[in-house]
Structure 1
Amino acid sequence: MSGSPAASIWDRERIGVTVGAIALIFLGAIEALAVTTVMPVVSAALDGESLYAVAFAGTLATSVIGMVACGAWSDARGPRGPLYAAVSLFILGLLISGFAFTMEQFVIGRLVQGLGAGGETVALYVVVSRLYPPHLHGRIFAAFAAAWVIPAMIGPFLAGAIAEFFDWRWAFLGVAALTVIAFTLIAVRLRALDLGGGDPSSVAGLTRRLLLAIVVAVGAVAVGLSADVPSAWGWPLALVALIVIGFAVVPLLPKGTLRSVPGLPSVILVRGLVAGGFFAAEAYIPYLLMAEFGFTPTWAGIALMLSAFAWAGGSAVQGRYGEVLGNRRIALISILLLLIAFVGVILTALTGASPLVIILGWAFAGAGMGLLYPRLTVLTLAYSAPGNAGFNSSALSISDATGSAVAVAIAGLGVATLGGGADAFPLVFAFAIVVVLLAMIPALRLGHGAEPG
């Protein structure tokens, strides 16, 4: 593929893949926003409030397995097969959740969906590394993030309206049907393109890595399930699970990640910490608005709509001015925006101030994530060679998913310990502040890799 400066993500040889990939990201965004909005309704309908956090954390946890498998598969054979398998699992999981009649069945669907969602992300990243020249990476990842714009406009509001006036099941079954269409589009285009082969020797140690990924996933689910047992046992169970996760995840990440070694390890660590803080907090934004401020599901989604708009805007700024701002400055600005949002939500929860503070404040969090997320992905590819792009991309996503799953599960355990009352919400956002503040350390050590000048 041409790497000339005149090349574009919309030129003839790439436009089909660009459109198909953006469609898959778009539908993933619809699903993510829909789940966050309708989960309070689902947990009430299926009498599964104790599994509220697991429904989030479980999907993130099993996505680690999909990431490891598809990362190794992509390096060994190319990304086409892994992408097809991952999207198929994503669709299957949506169907299981959509047709569930118990919370346990719903969670099983979410676990299957996580396998597909994690693998799909890694496979798409490898497609980008094989098909697009380095100077287009920032643009394509900005386009991926911008694919959240329409979901931001209609996703949370529509999901809330479906749950309120129709049936929450269509928030899952509808996305499944549309994903089949998007999948068909990208499959037809990729079949005619040469994505390169792979190095079969790169699968050495895959069995061990898959076992470790399974341990990480089981550990994260165990942290979530600890909220469903008495706190005298729940916290010790969670602590043991966290220790197990720590040991199991190390071989799945670049050496030195947990020690914040400068370069790629710090890029990977920032992703996990920031994702953990943000998603642990966001999981409880609609819950807070419904429980404490009397919002309906439809209107609770507005907070997520505005945040997603800001996410897309931050991503656009990164795509256009990322090289000018620099990696360290982008990371620090993003962390500051997240902290502003978290503090605003805490003060509102404590004082009973206008919920508009939450809705407007959460836009700061979205802007921070939109600014930072694509830059970390660009940096990961800048530190990668063709033979390890799959491993590094999966490591980035593993850090993201593990950090999010563990943080959401711990937040859920904290809420359960306090009985789920009004006092629990400030605790969730205070915890998110601590997690994001820890990201300041690796944020100062990102480096530049082989970014185009």
Structure 2
Amino acid sequence: MKKTASKAAGAMSPELRPLTIGILAIITCAAFEAMAVITAMPVVADELSGESSYGLAFSMYLTASLLGTVVAGSWCDRKGPRPALAVGMSLMILGLLAAGAAPDFWLVTVGRAVSGLGGGFMIVAVYVVIGRSFPQRAQPVVFGWLAAAWVLPALIGPVVAGFVTQQFGWRWVFLGVAPVVIAAVVIVWPKTRELGAMAAADAAPAKARVVRGLALAGGVFAAQWAVVRLADTDDPGTGTLVGLVVLAAAGVVVALAVLPALLPRGTLVLARGLPSIIATRGIVNVAFFGTEAFIPLMLVSSRGIDPGTAGLTLSAGALGWSAGSFVQARVTFGRQWLLVAGSSVLSLSLGGFALATATEAPLWVLVVVWGLSGFAMGMTLSSTSVLVLKLSAATEQGRNSAALQISDQLGGVAGTAGAGALFALLHDPADPGHVPTFVAIWLALWVFTAAGIVSGLRGARSSDDGPGLTPSKSMEGTVPA
């Protein structure tokens, strides 16, 4: 068992400083990996003829993260966060090495999936460490710093990745990140030694959650693969067409059948309180990450901008995200209303991004607007993290954190896979930079920002009393209205 930190201890107090530094090191590595890979991916797709499957390289990362998240949630409750953290780091390194050595685009996608599985383990472990080690008053500050940990990778990641891609080849972007992840292991590993399980837990529910996690990941994978293949296949035969449609429908049915048991009761119907807080996380992710995945491809193919310069737009989004998270740590009114404000700002900025793309506005306009989108996400997502920990019993922070991450990743999968399917359906191989194709994607994703406002309003009606939930019911959406 870990030593209990003083309720008055700050994130940089002597007793918590080593753990804070270790957590920041993990997030910094994850941020650099994300910024570097998304910058290099247009070149990877072009060299390995993977444009039609471009979205899969991102959505498969998130699909595998779903499985890792479900497994890690129960595992952290039973064994503490340390085992999940170790496995997650190892898988991320293995996936990076596999993608860097891949001779075909589908093998790059496999490598991304392995890294995503590791990422699912890691993020739940980090959330549990924060929930169990830091006093509640320090948690908003910690989440703000986690967002700030993206600043340096956001500034140098795209530039470095663009330079490496142009001078040495895209493979070194993947291979070069692996040592950085190893360095994070060295920093954080000794700091988690005392973080054991909170209490003995029944293994049977955990096994059931793993089975559901496998079914969810399998259903999501089947649906997105079938949709992308359906959109990418010219004149499919009747048998192929029927088979792909049936596979996509079956995947959706399986995912919807098991998903409710992995989330607080009422999440899918936007029940007030904790369920809608978790739902908001997923809904806004659909819009943001579906758009972000295709920004470099749009800039490279439509405007002939080099990958490093195109990545600066992503840097603006990450910097805006950090600013939004910094602001949320200093609010003096009800934190839950930041969900409404963030979703509203995201709706305005994403609509503006679609307009700026359609009118071929200067690059600096796209950079500014996307930075505003990042600001909205930083404000919203950091607030959902704080609220979920606040409304969770200590013995179930692992499962509730896992539910939040399932919503997070499922939103990202839906956004990137949906955008990928639209791109495969609409794009012309003879004109890969066709601007209306990208505008159509942005507008389709914008619809979800409106849903995020509604979900945020429902989530704002949550309890402000903290973790006074009955522990046995905290996963059942019983937050007081």
Pick the TM interval, shorter chain.
over 0.9
Aligned twin of 1:206: 206
- Residue number among 437, 441, 445 corresponding to 1:432 in the alignment: 445
Q: CA deviation at 1:24?
A: 0.6
- The equivalent of 2:117 in structure 1 is 115
Q: Is the 8 A contact 1:62 1:217 kept in 2?
A: yes
Aligned partner of 2:329 among 290, 313, 319: 319
Structure 1: unaligned runs, 5 residues or longer: none
**Cross-structure match for 1:401:** 409
| Letter in structure 2 aligned against 1:123 | A
Deviation of the 1:44 alpha carbon: 1.2
Mapped contact 1:212–1:248 kept (Cα < 8 A): yes
| 2:170 equivalent in structure 1 | 168
Matched, 1:154 2:164: no
State the distance in 2 between where 1:45 and 1:392 align: 41
Instruction: Indicate the residue corresponding to 2:376 in structure 1.
Output: 368
Give the aligned residue type for 1:412.
G
Query: What is the distance in 2 between the residues matched to 1:27 and 1:266?
Result: 30
1:65 counterpart residue number: 67
Q: Any idea what the Cα deviations from partners look like across 1:24-66, whole Å, max 9, x if unmatched?
A: 1011011111222111111112222222111100010010111
Q: Find the aligned partners of 2:405 and 2:436 in 1 and give their Cα distance.
A: 33
Q: CA shift at 1:128, angstroms? A: 1.1
Q: Which amino acid aligns with 2:436?
A: D
* Deviation of the 1:240 alpha carbon: 4.2
Q: SS of the counterpart of 1:204?
A: helix
What residue in structure 2 maps to residue 260 of structure 1?
270
Preserved CA contact (<8 Å) 2:129 2:195: no
Alpha-carbon distance between aligned partners in 1 of 2:162 and 2:222, rounded to the nearest angstrom? 29
Q: Give yes or no for contact 1:98–1:169 (8 Å, CA) kept in 2.
A: yes
Counterpart-to-counterpart distance in 1, 2:397 and 2:114: 25
Question: Which whole-Å CA distance do the structure 2 matches of 1:450 and 1:269 have between them?
Answer: 21
Superposed CA deviations along residues 190-239 of structure 1, whole A, max 9, x for unmatched, are: 22x354543231x3233332222222222332333222233874666545
Q: Which residue of 2 aligns with 1:276?
A: 286
Q: Which residue of 2 aligns with 1:389?
A: 397
Helix, strand or coil: the match of 2:13? coil
| Matched letter for residue 430 of structure 1 | L
Q: Which residue of 1 aligns with 2:304?
A: 294
**Is the aligned partner of 1:3 residue 2:6?**
yes
Per the alignment, residue 218 of structure 2 pairs with: 218
**1:216 partner amino acid:** L
Residue from 179, 182, 185 that aligns with 1:183: 185
Alignment of 1:411-426 (within 5 A): 411-420=419-428, 421-426=434-439
Question: Which structure 2 residue ranges, 5 or more long, are not aligned?
Answer: 429-433, 468-481
* Greater Cα offset, 71-80 or 414-423: 414-423
Asked if the contact 1:130/1:195 (under 8 Å) is kept, the reply is no
Query: For residues 236 and 417 of structure 1, what CA distance do their matches in structure 2 show?
Result: 18
Contact 1:99–1:169 under 8 Å retained in 2: yes
The letter for the 1-side match of 2:354 is: I
Q: CA deviation at 1:340?
A: 2.3
User: Given that residues 54 and 221 in structure 1 are in contact (C-alpha distance below 8 angstroms), is that contact kept between their aligned partners in structure 2?
Assistant: no
For residues 132 and 169 of structure 2, the distance between their equivalents in structure 1, rounded to whole angstroms, comes to 42
What letter matches 1:318 in structure 2? Q
2:253 to 230, 239, 243: 243
Q: 1:329 to 1:205 in 2, by over 3 A?
A: closer
Q: Secondary structure at the match of 1:272?
A: helix
For 1:365 and 1:194, the matched residues in 2 are separated by: 36
Offset from partner CA, 1:1-23 (integer Å, 9 cap, x none): 23332x11112222111111111
Cα distance, 1:424–1:325 mapped onto 2, change above 3 Å = farther
* Residues 224, 43 of structure 1: alpha-carbon distance in 2 compared, 3 angstrom cutoff: farther
Residue pairs, 1:47-86, within 5 angstroms: 47-86=49-88
Give the 3-state SS of the residue equivalent to 1:261 in structure 2: coil
Deviation of 1:400 after TM superposition, in Å, equals 0.5
- Do the aligned partners of residues 289 and 448 (structure 1) sit closer, same or farther apart at CA in structure 2, a change above 3 Å counting? farther
**Closer, same or farther: CA 237–341 of 1 in aligned 2, 3 Å:** farther
Distance 1:30 1:146 in 2: 13
Other-structure match for 1:131: 133
| Matched letter for residue 186 of structure 1 | V
Equivalent residue number for residue 24 of structure 1: 26
Residue 285 of structure 1 aligns with an amino acid whose one-letter code is I
Structure 2 distance, partners of 1:257, 1:172, is 36
Q: 1:4 to 1:227 in 2, by over 3 A?
A: closer
Count residues with an aligned counterpart.
Answer: 447
Q: 1:194 to 1:298 in 2, by over 3 A?
A: closer
Residue number in structure 1 paired with 2:90 = 88
Partner SS, residue 22 of structure 1:
helix
Answer with 440-449 or 277-286: which moved more: 440-449
1:224–1:412: 8 Å Cα contact kept in structure 2?
no
Counterpart of 2:418 in structure 1: which amino acid? I
The one-letter amino acid paired with 1:336 is S
Q: CA deviation at 1:152?
A: 1.4
| In 2, Cα distance between equivalents of 1:443 and 1:180 | 38
SS of residue matched to 1:254: coil
Contact 1:293 1:355 in 2 (8 A): no
Q: Contact 2:77 / 2:197 at 8 angstroms: preserved in 1?
A: no
